[in-house]
Amino acid sequence: MTRIRLCASEAVPAGAVVAVSVDDEDLVVWRGHDGVVCVMEARCPHQWSHLAAEGAVDGDELVCCSHWWRFRRDGSGWKVNVNGRRDRKGDIGVLPVVEDDDGVWVEGEGA
């Protein structure tokens, strides 16, 4: 396993979603309003919207604004109806993330 640096911590303030690429895989780095960072696949599993363009952080979830699916940091997908009921939707891939003084990192297989 090799750690791969994705970006500086300052590049992902609370509420931000940033596009990155690792080994030709498109990913997003986002930070919840609680300050915790997360790394996910960039494409929404519903209709493939890029979450750096269509994603918005809501609390500790990333929402795809194309059709309002929302993703927890464990990758589980949900949609909330007007009455607040949560229905399960498709999941998204999440990568193990490490943040330290040098930035945001994921564990990679190669190199």
| Interface contacts to ligand FES, rule CB under 6 A | 44, 46-47, 49, 64, 66-67, 69
Pairing of strands 77-80, 70-71: antiparallel
d(CA 67, CA 104): 29
Host H or E run for residue 15: none
Residues in a beta bridge with 71: 62, 77
Count of alpha carbons within 13 angstroms of residue 111, beta-carbon side: 9
d(CA 83, CA 86): 9
Give the phi and the psi of residue 10 in degrees, each rounded to 5: -65, -20
